[in-house]
Structure 1
Amino acid sequence: RLLNADDPFRKAYPSESPYFTDMGMNTTIKQVEKVDDQTVRFHLNNIDAAFIQNLAMSFASIQSAEYAAQLLKEGKAGDINQK
């Protein structure tokens, strides 16, 4: 959602994610591909030795699809980073 300006969760959250852009992740990540239900593959524009370390930070946490769907249904997308 941090890469996609049209993502409903990004639109609903009232602030930007400065870590994401300050660390250059917005230009490092070329694509995120779903391999299967348990695996994603990151395609990068350039080598970034700190990439895995940066993914361990709280702003990059993974939320469940079910929780996200519930928030969208309730019109509470802004709660994704709050609860």
Structure 2
Amino acid sequence: MRKSTVFGTAVKGKRAAWSSRPDAAAGDALSTTFMVMEPDEIEEFCRRHPDVPAMIILDAEEGRKEEILRFGRWDELVSG
């Protein structure tokens, strides 16, 4: 079970988060941070830091399917 590094409680609502950085440690740190941030906070972070792309998978809830959200230049990064 994933634990929140901020509060020590399980992260709810997200299955996974990714970020891409030239430095693997920075990418890992941002990915972990995105697990505890709300989607609107991630969107704002990526807007303020245009070189930081992010992608998260939201858990399925209340009849809603699992959802993939991309922020920043994620699509440019993947399409090459």
Could you say which TM-score interval applies, normalised by the shorter chain? Answer: under 0.3
Provide the TM-score with structure 1 as the length reference: 0.24
Please identify which structure carries the higher helix content.
1
Whose radius of gyration is greater, 1 or 2? 1
Provide the TM-score with structure 2 as the length reference: 0.24
